[in-house]
Amino acid sequence: MIYNWQYKTWESIAGLRQRMPHALLLYGQPGIGKADFAREFAQSLLCDTPADHGFACGVCTSCSWFQQGGHPDFRLLEPADDAADSVDANDREEGVSNDDKPKKKSHITVHQVRKLGDFLNLSTHRHGLHIVLLNPAESLNPSAANALLKMLEEPPPSTLFILVSHQPQRLLPTIHSRCNKISMPPPTRQAAEEWLATQGIQDISQRLAYVGGSPLAAFSSDKEMEDRSKTLFSMLMQGRKLDPLATAMACSKVGVMEFVSALQKWAYDLLALKLIGQARYHAHLGSSMQGLAISVDLAKLLDFQRVLGEARKHVQHPLNTELQMENLLIQYVRIYH
C-alpha cells in the first residue's frame, strides 16, 4: 500500500525497473509512510503479474508469500534484541535463556547483516532477484554498518538493497555514495488532514501540529500518550514555579525519549513565541504559553535547547529515568527570570 501523497514518487522510480541499481536510499521525515512504500516496491518487483503502473497484483503466488511474511527472496532487517543477539554459546550451554537478559531493541546488529551472506548465496526462487530492506537504516550499529558497506562495495549479482532512513546524515558517507538516493517528501497539510479524516481521527489539526505534520505519527498517537502529554504540559506551564522532583515522579511512566522529545518541542515553541509570536507544536495553548514565553531568558533558553540536544543523543544511557528527568527539569526552571 502506498499513500495518496506518494504517487509522484512511485512514478519517478518506474524507470529504475529497467536498470535496477544495487541499492536505494529512501529518506524523509518520520511518519510519512516510507517503510510502507519500500515494502510495496519490493513486493511489486517480486510479483509474478504486476498490475497497472507496476503495482503488485496481490493475488499471485509471490504476492501471497510476501503478504504472509515468508517470501524466500526477501529479507527485512529491523532493530533487533541487542542482548539476545549477544548471548553466546557458553550462555546457552549453561542454560542462560534470553529471557534472563535485559532486552532493548535499538539497533540492526552485525549478526543480522552477516546472516544475509547465506541468504544471498542461495539461488533465487522467482525472477532472479534478492531484495533486502533495512528500516531504519540509521539503526545499523557501527559493526553492522561496516559489514553492510562491504556488501555494497561488492554487491552480489541480482540483489537490491533498500535502505529506509529518517536521519540519512547518520549513515556512513561511504554507504551514501553507493546508494541511489530518493527523497520522500511529506504530504501537504490538506492531503494529511484528508487521509486522517478517512481514518476517523479527531482533533486532526492539533495532532498534526504536535507531530510536525507526519500523518502516520498523528494516527498512531494513542489516548494514553495524549493524556501523558497533557499532564506534562500543565506542569511545564508553571514555569519557574515548577517542582522538578514532583514533576519527574509524575512523569515516571513516560519513556525518556518521549519526555526529551516533548521538552524539545516545548522549548522550540517558547523560542518561536519569543521571536515571532507564533508556536508550531502547541498553538492550541494560545495566549497562556505566549505569556510564559515573555518571562524566558533568551540566552538560557538557547543553552537549554543545546542540553536537550545532547540528552537526545544519550537517551539510551542506563541512568535512572527519574534522575535524568529531574536534572532536565531543574535546568528548565532556570530559563525563567
Specify the 3-state DSSP secondary structure of 80: strand
Calculate what percentage of the chain has a pLDDT beyond 90.
65
**Under CATH, to which class is 222-333 assigned?**
mainly alpha
Q: Which pLDDT does position 287 carry in this prediction?
A: 85
Q: Which residue has the higher pLDDT, 43 or 126?
A: 43
- Strand ranges in the chain using DSSP code E only, listed in sequence order: 23-27, 74-77, 80-81, 105-107, 130-134, 159-165, 180-183
Please write the tens of the pLDDT for every residue from 19-63. 889 999 999 999 999 999 999 999 999 999 999 889 999 999 999
For domain 4-186, the CATH architecture is: 3-Layer(aba) Sandwich (3.40)
- For residue 93, is pLDDT > 70? no
Q: CA-CA distance, 247 to 65, in Å (whole number)?
A: 50
Residue 2: closest CA among 48, 47, 34: 34
Which residues, including other chains, have CB under 8 Å from residue 153's CB and lie 6 or more apart? 178
Which residues, including other chains, have CB under 8 Å from residue 14's CB and lie 6 or more apart? 53, 54
Check if 4-186 and 222-333 are the same fold: no
Give backbone dihedrals phi and psi of 248, rounded to 5 degrees, phi first: -60, -40
Amino acid residing at 137: A
Q: Which pLDDT does position 230 carry in this prediction?
A: 80
Torsion, CA 315, CA 318, CA 321, CA 323, rounded to 10? -100
Give backbone dihedrals phi and psi of 305, rounded to 5 degrees, phi first: -60, -40
Cβ 65 vs Cβ 219: under 8 Å: no
Within 10 angstroms of residue 181's Cβ, the number of other Cβ atoms is 14
Q: CA-CA distance, 127 to 130, in Å (whole number)?
A: 9
Give backbone dihedrals phi and psi of 255, rounded to 5 degrees, phi first: -65, 150
Please write the tens of the pLDDT for every residue from 189-244. 999 999 999 999 888 988 898 888 999 988 987 666 677 778 899 999 999 999 99
Q: Which pLDDT does position 91 carry in this prediction?
A: 34
- For residue 293, is pLDDT > 70? yes
Q: Is the dihedral angle over the CA atoms 268, 273, 278, 284 positive or is it negative?
A: positive
Least confident of 6-10, 98-102, 290-294: 98-102
Q: Which pLDDT does position 316 carry in this prediction?
A: 64
- For residue 327, is pLDDT > 60? yes
Take residue 303 and report the three cell numbers written for it. Answer: 543553552
pTM: 0.78
Q: CA-CA distance, 104 to 83, in Å (whole number)?
A: 7
Take residue 126 and report the three cell numbers written for it. Answer: 522467482
Q: Which pLDDT does position 35 carry in this prediction?
A: 96
In the chain, where the domains are located: 4-186, 190-221, 222-333
Calculate what percentage of the chain has a pLDDT beyond 70.
90
Strand-pair partners of 181:
25
- For residue 94, is pLDDT > 50? no
